Amino acid sequence: MADRTLGIYIHIPFCASRCAYCDFCSTADRRDLIPAYQQALIQHLREAAPLAEGYLVDTVYFGGGTPTWYGAERLAELFGEIKERYKVLTDGEVTFEANPDSVTEKGLKALRKAGFNRISLGAQSANDGILRELGRRHDWAQVVSAVDLAWKTGFENISLDLIYGLPGQSREDWADTLRKAMELQPKHISCYGLKVEEGTPLWSRREDPDLPDEDTQADLYLYAVDTLAAAGYVQYEISNFAKSGCASRHNLKYWMGEEYLGFGASAASWLGGKRFTVLPDAEGYIAAIGSGGELMSELEEISLYEQASEYVMLRMRTARGMDPKEYETRYQNSFEPLEKLMESYVRLGLAQRVGDRWRFTPRGFLLSNRLIGELLDAQAEQKYHMGIPWRKEDYYDTLF
């Protein structure tokens, strides 16, 4: 009986040009691959359909890359294929990522007609000088027109991506970006701290005094949390804020450990206790689909202990946090060592207990990498040094 739900993710690794900070899986030089990539995605969707038997698809997400630059017609064709081969719920959330410079009224109308109902727009900053410096192909006026067009063509569920900690960005500048973004009344706002990744053009400027230091980034983050809360945007994850009922259902699947299937270069899947990840480049993906060759770069069965670690890592990114009863039932082990640590974080103002659950405060989110590391250490300690078998199979493993 079909009663489990599934998310579908489609990766579109093509962009019009590369932004200075980008280390995502995307290319701006291989436009020639697009027709073959589309055919490979269609074939992949057909071949993988049996894996989704017994599942109801309640979220579909087209990410990238720049799906709108790839083309609305191609996206509509892919979604048509999904609807034909998978059981997609009529009230499912169907999202596409977009950049303001590749949004057109015709394209949006076609996507709305095809059944897409959520747009995630890369706005990043309201400062045109900063946008230019980042290599973005749009200015703020184009963000405003893209949002207007989205409203006009029937998209009510609009999300804006913003970045803080940008080169030369002051607190006033960030406040201005947040204010202008909220004026557009999106249902959802994501705020990401700039990370200067090795291999990106921005990396050569990593020592630049123009780049806000850690304290400034923290200040900008906490400012966003307060400002968005005052405007009715509820923080439901470290970087994500939404009006009531408008949290991203698809992204929540990742953080809640729910199942999803990924298609396209670098896309990951989590299904039936297994994690698999597709080859990271478009050309390799096309060749593997065409030849029936090895498509996955990783395929692993995740042990219960690893699942418990992922629960800690993913749940502590969210405002929902960890539920001790859920943890103990799922992973057959005591929550006590984690609880002790969480109590110490509460005393430091880094965490709070909400009903039965434990979560970080915004200050805790800021330190989450370190704090989650400590929680994982406590888990490992429990597994390896206290003589407690994590589960029966682990115990028997030690005997044979």
- Is the peptide bond prior to 65 cis by the omega test (within 30 degrees of 0)? yes
Q: Does 65 bind ligand SF4 (CB under 6 A)?
A: yes
Q: Does 18 bind ligand SF4 (CB under 6 A)?
A: yes
Measured between its terminal Cα atoms, the distance across the chain in Å is 38
Residue 294 burial (CB count, 10 A): 10
Q: Does 24 bind ligand SF4 (CB under 6 A)?
A: yes
Binding string to ligand SF4 for residues 94 to 113, with x set by CB under 6 A, is what? -----x--------------
Strand partners, 353: 358
Which CB, 19 or 228, lies closer to ligand SF4?
19
Which CB, 15 or 119, lies closer to ligand SF4?
15
The footprint of ligand SF4 on this chain (CB under 6 A) covers a number of residues equal to: 11
If you write DSSP's letter for every residue of 331-362 in order, what string do you get? HSS--HHHHHHHHHHHHTTSEEEETTEEEE-H
Map residue 219 onto helix, strand or coil.
Answer: helix
Q: Which residue from 22, 163, 184, 295 is in contact with ligand SF4, where contact means CB under 6 A?
A: 22
Q: Does 163 bind ligand SF4 (CB under 6 A)?
A: no
CB of 194 to ligand SF4, least distance (A): 11
Which CB, 70 or 174, lies closer to ligand SF4?
70
Q: Does 64 bind ligand SF4 (CB under 6 A)?
A: yes
Q: Exposed, middle or buried: residue 100 (CB in 10 Å: 0-12, 13-18, 19+)?
A: buried
Which CB, 19 or 351, lies closer to ligand SF4?
19
Q: Which residue from 8, 19, 88, 103 is in contact with ligand SF4, where contact means CB under 6 A?
A: 19
Distance CA 331, CA 315 (A): 14
Q: How far is CA 181 from the centre of its chain?
A: 20
Place of tokens 């202008």: 180
Residue 65's identity, in one-letter code, is: G
Map residue 296 onto helix, strand or coil.
Answer: strand
Distance CA 266, CA 278 (A): 5
Which CB, 66 or 248, lies closer to ligand SF4?
66
278-to-13, 52, 126, 259, 268 alpha-carbon distances in Å:
13, 17, 35, 16, 6
CB of 236 to ligand SF4, least distance (A): 23
Which CB, 26 or 239, lies closer to ligand SF4?
26
Phi-psi region of 321 (alpha: psi -120 to 50; beta: other; left: phi over 0): left
Number of residue whose CB is nearest ligand SF4: 22
Q: Does 382 bind ligand SF4 (CB under 6 A)?
A: no
| 371 Cβ contact partners less than 8 Å away, ≥ 6 residues apart | 316, 345, 350, 351, 360, 364
Span of 16-24, 43-51, 173-181, 288-296 interacting with ligand SF4 by CB under 6 A:
16-24
Q: Does 131 bind ligand SF4 (CB under 6 A)?
A: no
Q: Does 192 bind ligand SF4 (CB under 6 A)?
A: no
Span of 13-21, 142-150, 215-223, 389-397 interacting with ligand SF4 by CB under 6 A:
13-21
CB of 20 to ligand SF4, least distance (A): 9
Which CB, 139 or 310, lies closer to ligand SF4?
139
CB 80 within 8 A of CB 47: no
Distance CA 45, CA 60 (A): 13
CB of 21 to ligand SF4, least distance (A): 7
Q: Does 92 bind ligand SF4 (CB under 6 A)?
A: no
Q: Does 146 bind ligand SF4 (CB under 6 A)?
A: no
Q: Does 66 bind ligand SF4 (CB under 6 A)?
A: yes
Strand partners, 275: 270, 300
365-to-241, 272, 350, 361 alpha-carbon distances in Å:
14, 30, 8, 6
Q: Does 26 bind ligand SF4 (CB under 6 A)?
A: yes
Applying CB under 6 A, the residues found at the interface with ligand SF4 are 15, 18-19, 22, 24, 26, 64-66, 99, 122
